[in-house]
A = this chain, B = another copy of it.
Amino acid sequence: MLSELKRRVYEANMELSERGLVVYTFGNASEIDRERGIVAIKPSGVDYSTLGPEQIVLVDLNGKRVEGELNPSSDTRTHCRLYREWEGIGGIVHTHSRYATAWAQAKRPLPCFGTTHADYFYGEVPCTEVIGDKAIERDYEEETGVQIVDAFAGIDCRHMKAVLVACHGPFVWGADAREAVYLSVMLEEVATTGFFTVLLDPESKGIKKSLLDKHYLRKHGKDAYYGQERVP
């Protein structure tokens, strides 16, 4: 069932490994078939070197397995919560990539320090609150999704496709798993240069609104002119 979806999710997970964003079994990518309400996701604790498309697990929107022999990623219910909350998104990636994780561990949102950031993320990447004790007890993975949604009050998830979960690491999303992987690489890139930037200038506040708008909108606005084609 849904072998194309599983192949795409497999390839997205492999690219996470090839790009150096994960070690051993860390990290997971998923993608949703919105019509059927089925999510394909990496199995839990399986090494990338032995992963194949046939091992990708299918779950429903509540995280219940509907196909596959292996347990889905332990973060599955976080993915599902985000798919239920945000209908516009089609793929999600979670990694513990080093610099993004450091910002999350320091509980600091990542300011937009330059145009590289502005090209992909429309402003400061939010950082969630530390999850509460009751939420941990209740349903940790589900509640991690709630924390993320809470952090997006007043923020449009179509223009800010990443979040830092405090004391944990980044979640990134997009139209499909492939875009979520791409933006995960970019987030790590700007988390890296952002880290260097605050060491060079601890007072740095990030770029001004006019420059942020220029860069983000020349790529993603309705009059975008970056790249080769645009479907507004």
Stretch at the interface among A6-14, A30-38, A79-87, A203-211: A203-211
A24 with B114, Cβ < 8 A, contacts A71-B227, A105-B193 known: no
What separation, in Å, do the CA atoms of A199 and B198 have in the docked complex?
Answer: 9
| A residues 95-144 touching B (CB-CB < 8 Å) | 96, 98-99, 101-108, 113-116, 130-131, 133, 136-137, 140
Residue-by-residue, is A136-159 near B (CB-CB < 8 Å gives 1, otherwise 0)?
Answer: 110010000000000000000000
Once the chains bind, are A140 and B208 in contact (CB under 8 Å)?
A: no
Once the chains bind, are B207 and A167 in contact (CB under 8 Å)?
A: yes
Once the chains bind, are A103 and B46 in contact (CB under 8 Å)?
A: no
Once the chains bind, are B193 and A24 in contact (CB under 8 Å)?
A: no
A225 with B98, Cβ < 8 A, contacts A103-B200, A136-B214 known: no
What separation, in Å, do the CA atoms of A23 and B99 have in the docked complex?
Answer: 16
Residue-by-residue, is A192-203 near B (CB-CB < 8 Å gives 1, otherwise 0)?
Answer: 111111111100
Once the chains bind, are B168 and A108 in contact (CB under 8 Å)?
A: no
Select A185's contact among B23, B169, B198, beta carbons within 8 Å: B23
Q: Which residues of B contact A175 (CB under 8 A)?
A: none
Q: Which residues of B contact A62 (CB under 8 A)?
A: none
Q: How many copies does the complex hold?
A: 4
Q: Quick check: is A189 within 8 A (CB to CB) of the other chain? A: yes
Once the chains bind, are B44 and A197 in contact (CB under 8 Å)?
A: no
Once the chains bind, are A197 and B116 in contact (CB under 8 Å)?
A: no
Chain B nearest CB from A5 CB (Å) reads 22
Chain B nearest CB from A209 CB (Å) reads 9
Once the chains bind, are B104 and A136 in contact (CB under 8 Å)?
A: no
What separation, in Å, do the CA atoms of A74 and B140 have in the docked complex?
Answer: 45
Select A114's contact among B43, B104, B186, B214, beta carbons within 8 Å: B104
Some 10 contacts from A to B, beta carbons below 8 A apart, are A23-B186, A24-B186, A44-B228, A74-B225, A74-B226, A101-B116, A114-B168, A130-B207, A136-B210, A140-B218
Closest 4 CB pairs of A and B: A45-B227, A102-B196, A106-B200, A106-B201
